[in-house]
């Protein structure tokens, strides 16, 4: 089983993310049984990936990461800081989402292929390339919206 990499970044007190998707402690049975879509534990907390991201839309704090260049993502692919990818704690992997920087309205479509961020009150970690496209420097308020599931269906 692949384990999640820890991400660097500053911790800033922020509002808790808001969601229009109801969440349950235990997710429905998994359609994609890949190890990266099963429940996992980080820092003593268990996370339950969603079985589907259909209808997912959430606002919260985004950060970016880039120092992990070459490390493996939760899916096992090499992380490319200039790519258009992201890390999320519970979205099914891989999932395509649109991220909107709420301070300037700029958007970027990214593939969620990693787990994180594991800093308090963070919704999503963007690759440096994705953050640059929407003018995100450090932390910023964003909206994340589901576009499509990229997992192959059996």
- pLDDT tens for 76-106 read 999 999 999 999 999 999 999 999 999 999 9
Question: The pTM is what?
Answer: 0.77
Which domains occur in the chain, in start order? Answer: 18-149 (2.40.40.10)
pLDDT at 70: 73
pLDDT at 44: 95
Poorest-confidence range of 13-17, 42-46, 58-62, 87-91?
A: 13-17
Check if the beta carbon of residue 112 is closer than 8 Å to that of residue 88. Answer: yes
Pairing of strands 95-101, 107-114: antiparallel
The HSE-up count of residue 138 (CA atoms within 13 Å, CB side) is 5
């Amino acid at each position: 089983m692949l384990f999640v990499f820890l991400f660097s970044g500053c911790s800033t007190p922020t509002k808790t993310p808001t969601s229009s998707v109801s969440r349950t402690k235990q997710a429905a049975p998994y359609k994609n049984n890949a190890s990266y879509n099963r429940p996992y534990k980080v820092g003593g907390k268990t996370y339950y990936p969603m079985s589907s991201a259909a209808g997912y839309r959430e606002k919260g704090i985004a950060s970016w990461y880039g120092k992990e260049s070459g490390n493996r993502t939760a899916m096992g692919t090499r992380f490319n800081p200039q790519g258009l990818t992201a890390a999320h704690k519970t979205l099914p992997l891989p999932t395509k989402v649109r991220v909107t920087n709420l301070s300037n309205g700029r958007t970027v479509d990214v593939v969620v292929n990693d787990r994180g961020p594991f800093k308090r009150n963070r919704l999503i970690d963007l690759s440096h390339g994705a953050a640059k496209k929407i003018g995100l420097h450090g932390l910023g308020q964003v909206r994340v919206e589901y576009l499509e599931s990229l997992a192959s269906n059996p």
